[in-house]
Structure 1
C-alpha cells in the first residue's frame, strides 16, 4: 500500500518561508563596533534574501553555481544562508582564519563564482583575490572603500547597492532535496582541505534534530547566541534551527573575545549559545575577574569541537546555573552527531560521569566501534577502537573525490576518533588516531591527560602530545598555560595526576607556554605543537 502523503521536498526555501512568515517578528540582532546592537526581523530577512537572490541571478548566478561568503556572524550572512541555497545555487562558507594558500586552494577547488565579503576582512581577501580564477563578482558589506579589490574584469559592488531596487519576492524554484545546498571544507590539518557538500534534505533534517528535545531544544522562547563561526560546519546548524523554531538570533560579528561576549550576554539575555571550550574557558576566566556581569539568562550552552573539561561544566553550573552540554560531531557530520544529555532520574554522580562523555547519538545517526581489522566491538565501555558513523546528514564522500576505504567503508564514515561506547550508547572519545600516544606498545590518551590537567586550579590550558623516546618509542609531553599569578611546578602537576591514571601514563616531559597553538576553528593545533618541539622551540623540563 502506498502512502497518500504529499511529496514535499525538504529544502532551505521551506525553512526560509516558515521563518520569515510564521516567525516574522523574531529578530536577528548583530553586535556593532560601538557596542550597540542592530536589529532586523525574520520578515525583513525574508525580503532582503529575496532581493539578494534576484541580484545574484541578475549577475549571472544560475544552476548550482557556487557563491562564497567571507564573513563573520551577522545579518547579511544570515541572508546569504537563506538566499543562495534557496535559489538553487550552493553556499560556500570560506574560513577566513585559514592561510592565503589554503583560501586560494579551497576557492578554486570549489569553483567559486561570487564572493560576499565583510568590509572588515577586505584586507584579508584583497591579496588572494587575483588568484581566485572563477570569481567574477565581489559584493562587500559595510560601506568601506572598495578600491583594494578592484581589478580588470571583476565587478566589485557594495552589498546595499547590489540588492537596492531588487524585488522583495523571489520565485524560489522547486529543487531536488538531495541537491547540494551548501559546502564547507575541513580544516586540513593534514594534506589539502576536503570539501563536504550538504544537501537540502540533510540540512532540513539536521535542523529538526537541533530543535528536538533530545537535541539542542531550540524553540520560539529562545534567543540563540551563535558564537561558533558561520564558516564552521554551518554554525553547528544554529542559524537554520533558529529560523525553523522562531528563536531570536544574536550574532557577535567579529567580537569573539571574552569581554564583548560577556557584555553581550549581560545586555541581550540569550538563552542558548554554542562555542568551542576555549571560548567558554576564557569567558569563565573573565567572569572570575569581573563578577558584576550577569550571564544567568543562559540556560543551555552547547560545547564541542574538542573534549569539554568536566571542571568547566561544573563551575558554570555551580556558579551561574548554566547547563553546559557536551556535543560531538565534525564537518562531515553537519556537525551534530551525539549529545551528552543523561536522564535527570540518575543520581548526580552518574549524571556528571555521563555528561563528561560525548553523549549518545541523536535520532537519525548510528554509531559503531571497530578494531583495526574493521570488526565490530562490543558496547561495553571497555573495548577501544575507531568510531564510525552514518546517517542522513553524514557525508558519504568528499567533493570532487572518489570515496575511498580509508575514509568511507561500507556506508560508514571513518571518523578517525578513537574511543569506546557503553551499553547505553554513550560515547567516550579517548583520542584522535593521529594524536594517540604509542608508548611501549600501549596507548596513552592525550585527551584524558589534558582533561585531568585542565582541572588543576593553577592551569588555564593543557595540551599533550607524543614525542620521540629512545626506549618507549613515544612519551607524553604536557604543554601548560598557567593562570595569572600561579606558578605550579612539573612535580606539582605530576602529583596531581598520580592516582588518576596509570603510573606509566604520567608525563616526564613538561613545558610552560604563554598560549597553546590553535587551529582555525579553535582546537589545539597539535601538529604545530609537535613542529615547535621538533624545531627545539619549546623549553622542555624533564623530571
Structure 2
C-alpha cells in the first residue's frame, strides 16, 4: 500500500482555519433579521454578538483565562446562549451544570471539573452559597438576574465595553464539559472540543435540511428548546439555530402551559424534548386544541407509537433522534416520507460521518464511531471500557432494518431473559401503552427461580383514580402473543399502578428506583394478571 500524499507547501500566508465555535457566527448577523426571545428580552443577532463579546470581556476582567472552567447554573435563556459561545470562544471551558442533581452531586461535579468561576440564576443562589465554602477553586461568581441589579449579570454586561479580541487556537481545545446522568454512582465527566462541536453542528444541520417535509428544520422555522441547555448542549440545536440565524425562543423553566403559550404567541414550529414533556404538553392543552404545525424531535427514551399517534392527532409531527451524553449527542435521526409512525419511532438513520454497527458477539450491542464522540471520562479505566476495541460502546441492544435504519431493542442492562428467551422491556412497554387506561408503562426484570427472570410492570393510569382493568391488560397482551408479535414469556405476572413513574434528572424512567421500590413494597401492592 502506498503512502497518501499530504500538502506540505501551502501558501506562505494561507489561513489554516481551525474549527472553532466562533466561526459558526460568521456572517450570521448580516444575513438575518430574526430575534432571540427570552423572558422580557428580544435581541437581534447584532445584539447577541455584542453581548457575547461583553461577557468574554467581563469574565476576562474577573480573572478568567484560557483553559479555566466556568460553571453555569441557569434555566434556558438568552444568557445561557451567550455562555454557549463567549466562554469557549475565549479559550475557557463551559461547564453546563445539571441543576436537577442533588446538592452533593452538584458539588461533586463542580469540584471534579475544577471550575474557577460560576454564573448562576437567582433560583440557585442558596444552593451555590451553601456549597461554595467546599469549593476552594471557585474564585468568583456572578448572579444571573432577570432585572438589572447593580451586581447582576445584566447590569455588568451593560456596563462592560465589548473590547475582548477573540483569537484562534487549537481546534482540539476543550470547549465544554458536563457530567452524565447515570443511575449508579457519581456522575461521569465528559468533554467536547471545538472541532467536535463544529462538526456535530454541521452534520446535524445538513441532516435536518435533508428531512422530509414536516420532519426537519427550515429557514422560516421558529426554534424553542424543551430539553434543558445543561443536558448535552440541548442536543446541539442552539448551535445549529444560531449558525443559521433562526428566530429562537428560550422559555426559562418548563411549565407546560407557559410552553404552549409561547408556542402560540411566537409561532414556534420546531422543538425537541423527552417523552415526559410531550405527555405534559398533550395533557395541558385544551380539549380539541390543535398544536400544529409543530415538529418535535423526541429523545432521551423510547417514543411509544401510541404516544406518537396521540401527538399526531393534536397536530404535532414527532420523530425520534438518538444519542447519549457521550455522543454529543445526535448520531441518528428518524425519517419517513409517508409519515409512518412506526418508522418515525425508530432510532433512525445514522447522520453524516457516523459509522454504526451491531455487535452480535456482545448481545447485539450498538457500537459507534463519529468525529464528535467524547474521547473518554475522567477515569482512565472507564474510558478504556467505553472505547474497547476502538468503538464507543453504547450499552444499547439494537437491530438494523432492511432500509438501514437503527432500531433500539433495549438497554443491555434492561433486556430480560425468561424461559430461555430474550424479551425486550421496550416492546412490552409500547404494547401496554396502546391498551385502554394506560398512560405510561415501565418494565423491569426480576429474578425467578423457575424461569430465570420474569417481567414486572409499572403503569400510570390514563385517568387519575381509575386503575386499568387487569383482565383487559392480559387480554390485550395475549392478542399480541397470538399474533406472533410477542412471546408468551413476556406477559408480566404483576402490575403496579403508580401515580407517576420515578425519573432521572433528565426525564428518563429510573428503573433502578423501580427495582428498589419492588424490593420494599408489599406483595399485595401489585395486581396479578
What TM-score, normalized by structure 2, do the two folds share? Answer: 0.91
Q: Which residue number in structure 1 is paired with residue 288 of structure 2? A: 291
How far does the alpha carbon of each residue in 1:122-144 deviate from its partner, in whole angstroms, 9 at most, with x for none?
23333222222311111111168
For structure 1, list consecutive stretches of 5 or more residues without a partner in the other structure: 147-155, 375-383
Instruction: Measure, in 2, the Cα distance between the counterparts of 1:259 and 1:284.
Output: 10
1:229 corresponds to: 228
Map 1:25-40 onto structure 2 (within 5 A): 25-30=33-38, 32=39, 37-40=40-43
Q: Which residue of 2 aligns with 1:243?
A: 242
Q: Does 1:10 align with 2:29?
A: no
Secondary structure at the aligned position of 1:487 is classed as: coil
* 1:405-420 to 2 correspondences below 5 Å: 405-420=384-399
| Correspondence 1:1-150 to 2 at 5 A | 7-23=16-32, 25-30=33-38, 32=39, 37-142=40-145
Query: For residues 486-505 of structure 1, what are the alpha-carbon distances to aligned partners after superposition, in whole Å with 9 as ceiling and x for unaligned?
Result: 43122221211113211111
Residue 527 of structure 2 is matched in structure 1 by 541
| 229 and 492 in structure 1: CA distance in 2 versus 1, 3 angstrom threshold | same
- C-alpha displacement at 1:38, in angstroms? 2.7
Q: Does 1:330 align with 2:327?
A: no
Preserved contact between residue 214 and residue 362 of structure 1 (Cα < 8 Å): no
Q: Distance in 1 between matches of 2:522 and 2:132?
A: 34
3-state SS of the aligned residue for 1:367?
strand
Which residue in 2 is equivalent to 1:211?
205
Deviations 1:54-94 (A, max 9, x none): 11111111121100101110011111111000110010000
Residues 95-152 of structure 1, C-alpha deviations (whole Å, 9 max, x = no match): 0000111111111000011111111222333322222231111111116899xxxxxx
Q: Which residue in 1 is equivalent to 2:411?
A: 432
Q: Which residue of 1 aligns with 2:496?
A: 511
SS at 1:128 equivalent: helix
2:395 alignment partner, SS class: strand
Q: CA deviation at 1:540?
A: 1.7
* SS of match in other structure, 1:69: strand
CA shift in 2, pair 1:143/1:80, >3 Å: same
Larger mean Cα displacement after TM superposition, 329-338 or 439-448: 439-448
Q: Residue 437 of structure 2 contacts residue 468 of structure 2 at CA under 8 Å; is this kept in 1?
A: yes
- The farther-off stretch of 335-344 and 242-251 is 335-344
Give 1:170 deviation, angstroms.
Answer: 2.5
Distance 2:128 2:470 in 1: 44
1:169 shift after superposition: 4.2
CA distance in 1, matches of 2:497, 2:187: 31
The alignment status of 1:341 with 2:335, answered yes or no, reads yes
When residues 515 and 227 of structure 1 are mapped into structure 2, their CA distance, relative to the original with a 3 A threshold, is same
| SS across alignment from 1:434 | coil
Which 4+ residue blocks in structure 1 deviate beyond 4 angstroms?
A: 1-6, 143-146, 402-405
- Local SS of the residue matching 2:479: coil
Q: Distance in 1 between matches of 2:264 and 2:406?
A: 34
Q: Offset of 1:457 from its aligned partner?
A: 3.4
- Corresponding position of 1:497: 477
1:355-434 superposed matches below 5 A:
355-372=344-361, 385-399=364-378, 401=380, 404-434=383-413
Distance 1:259 1:396 in 2: 40
Check conservation: 2:328, 2:373, Cα contact below 8 A: yes
Structure 2: runs of 5 or more not aligned: 481-485
1:198 paired residue among 156, 173, 192? 192
The secondary structure found in structure 1 opposite 2:159 is coil
Q: TM-score, normalised by structure 1?
A: 0.89
Task: Supply the distance in 2 between the matched residues of 1:431 and 1:530 (Cα, whole angstroms).
Answer: 17
| Closer/same/farther in 2, CA of residues 490 and 123 from structure 1, 3 Å limit | farther
Which SS does the other structure have where 1:190 is aligned? coil
Aligned equivalents of 2:246, 2:379: Cα separation in 1:
36
* More divergent stretch after superposition (3-12 vs 178-187): 3-12
Q: For residue 454 of structure 1, what is the aligned residue in structure 2?
A: 433
**Structure 2 residue aligned with 1:523:** 508
- Equivalents in 1 of 2:87, 2:352: separation in Å? 28
Deviation of 1:403 after TM superposition, in Å, equals: 5.9
1:166-194, CA deviations, whole angstroms, 9 ceiling, x for partnerless residues? 22242111021111111121003122211
**SS of residue in 1 equivalent to 2:186:** coil
Asked whether the 8 Å contact 1:210–1:217 carries over to 2, the reply is no
Is the Cα contact below 8 Å between 1:218 and 1:242 reproduced in 2?
A: no
How many Å separate the matches in 1 of 2:503 and 2:148? 32
Q: Which residue of 2 aligns with 1:470?
A: 449
Q: What is the total number of aligned residue pairs between the two structures?
A: 508
| 1: CA distance, partners of 2:522 / 2:229 | 34
